[in-house]
Structure 1
Amino acid sequence: MTQSLDYIAGAARKWLSLTDKPLILGLCGAQGSGKSTLAAGLQRRMQAEGRMTAVLSLDDLYLDGAERERLARDVHPLLRTRGVPGTHDVARGIAILDTVKAGQPVALPRFDKGKDEPADEELLLPGRVELLIFEGWCVGARPQPDQALANPVNALERDEDAAQLWRRHVNRQLSGPYADLFARIDRLVLLAAPDFSVVHAWRSQQEEALRAEQGDRASHAMDVVQIDRFIQHYERLTRHILDDMPGYADHSLFLDKDRGLRMAQ
């Protein structure tokens, strides 16, 4: 992870030197790829160099449970589970990025994954942000071609989305509101997993770390069966990102199964 951080920090310094306006840096990576850790490390480095830096996670834009229940009822039951495009407050995200770009103070939301609801408290940034790191598993993603949606990629899609309503709704979200959100990103970096098969192991490591950290309070940590079902919600778009995003990201960092940097471009 140190090599990846060194690489991104060097790129960020270059990009910041080319503008006197706030910079929105998108950081995309599959679940467990280390993007949150990397974002926090980059924030510390930039802050130490005197640059006001903040991190906004796409996860902190999740809709509340009531809104996701409405989507589950009106659109498709799979939208009850947070994660895919369509389950975020995109309008809030756009407003935050626009406020940062305007050089104005901004409040960043937080999402409580234990309660599966937005947290009551927000992080108020007191002054002008020079660098906002916008990180998330599908940040910067583009929609798939319609013909790519026909065949299911896993059992979840085969058994619970046979009519393709869920995945086509997700794809429309990427074509519409999410495209508007991601258009506000100035630079985009991809943390590329070696393939989707490592995501289960990476997510399992996250859940184990949660149990070790919180003990009896980690009641929302998932077991192996729950992880397997959960990551199937992310599989289609994760595979698409790994195929598509290296062609347009400003930098792609290709990782090995231990999250070490194999190659950067």
Structure 2
Amino acid sequence: MTPSLDRIAAETRTWLAGADRPLILGLCGAQGSGKSTLAASLQAAMEAEGRRTAILSLDDLYLNGIARQQLADAVHPLFRTRGVPGTHDAVRGIAILDAAKVGAPLSLPRFDKGRDEPFGEEEAVGKVDLLIFEGWCVGARPQAESALAAPVNALERREDPDAIWRRYVNRQLWGIYAELFARIDRLVLLAAPDFGVVRDWRGQQEEALWTSKASGAMDAVQLDRFVQHYERLTRHILAEMPDRADLTLPLDHNRQPRADMYAYMKDKVRQ
């Protein structure tokens, strides 16, 4: 196991041992932080120990293109781009997490990022002991209203000068996303060292897509604009989530646990 996987697996075993029903494990990490790979490795480790495990990515809850265009027309053009709260089917996410908690068989949606549309068929996974719910803003809380006034980057300054987009995103975190994230039993944060590294990490992912000649790969200009959609909330998460997550793993620029810091767990039980 890698150091991150070893630590998360150890804590997950403890959490599972103390649970009287299926466990919902939230895994939050900035784009490119390795959360999807880590979730898959954790699933393999738990299944090797006989625990029925499935993964739901927040990305798999994205609305289809028509729904996002309708949101863009009704609220703000920036909602045509998938990513921020408001561009997911949070109601469906709530239904899935509720079904997992009561031990019902699951059918999980999957999203095709190449086509920017959901796959036509869902994945039937049955009952689980552990559902890993991973995503870049899983467990995020809203910002204070006063924090929304000043733009954090060129995208907000040029394309959201009246703060309509970012205020709508924040209202989603107060509303339906708060209901969704309240269903998480334990929250793990992969804490990037800063937001600046996120552009580099996401750039590495895009380079891999270019190498594989996958559809939908972005060039440098497109990528620079794209990551700005995520900047505000990523910075907020890195500032406020570490002290309340059940387990926080501070990462270095190579996605490895930082040698000068320790992972820590809050000794508490989520309601």
The answer to whether residue 80 in structure 2 is matched with residue 97 in structure 1 is no
Whole-Å separation in 2 of the counterparts to 1:29 and 1:182: 15
Cα deviation, residue 62, structure 1 = 0.1
Match of 2:236 in 1: 240
| TM-score where L is the length of structure 2 | 0.95
- Count of aligned pairs: 261
Q: Deviations over 1:12-51 (max 9, x none)?
A: 0000000130000000000000000000000000000000
Whole-Å separation in 1 of the counterparts to 2:207 and 2:263: 29
Whole-Å separation in 2 of the counterparts to 1:36 and 1:135: 7
Cα deviation, residue 92, structure 1 = 0.4
Cα deviation, residue 77, structure 1 = 0.3
Match of 2:18 in 1: 18
Match of 1:8 in 2: 8
Match of 2:155 in 1: 156
Q: Which amino acid aligns with 1:103?
A: G
Match of 2:267 in 1: none
Match for residue 221 of structure 2 among 222, 225, 241: 225
Whole-Å separation in 2 of the counterparts to 1:200 and 1:138: 16
Cα deviation, residue 219, structure 1 = 2.8
Moved more, 247-256 or 203-212: 203-212
The runs of 5 or more residues in structure 2 that have no matched partner are: 265-271
The runs of 5 or more residues in structure 1 that have no matched partner are: none
Cα deviation, residue 95, structure 1 = 0.4
Q: Which amino acid aligns with 1:99?
A: A
The answer to whether residue 182 in structure 2 is matched with residue 183 in structure 1 is yes
RMSD of equivalent CA atoms: 0.8
Match of 2:269 in 1: none
In proportion to residue count, which structure has more helix?
Answer: 1
Match of 1:195 in 2: 194
Partner secondary structure for residue 189 of structure 2: strand
Match of 1:207 in 2: 206
The percentage of aligned residue pairs carrying the same residue is 70
Whole-Å separation in 1 of the counterparts to 2:205 and 2:215: 14
Match of 1:250 in 2: 246
Whole-Å separation in 2 of the counterparts to 1:47 and 1:260: 24
Q: Which amino acid aligns with 1:109?
A: P
Partner secondary structure for residue 246 of structure 1: coil
Q: Which amino acid aligns with 1:11?
A: E
Cα deviation, residue 208, structure 1 = 1.3
| TM-score where L is the length of structure 1 | 0.97
The answer to whether residue 68 in structure 2 is matched with residue 72 in structure 1 is no
Hey, which bits of structure 1, 4+ residues long, moved more than 6 A?
none
Q: Deviations over 1:186-211 (max 9, x none)?
A: 00000000000000100010111222
Partner secondary structure for residue 241 of structure 2: helix
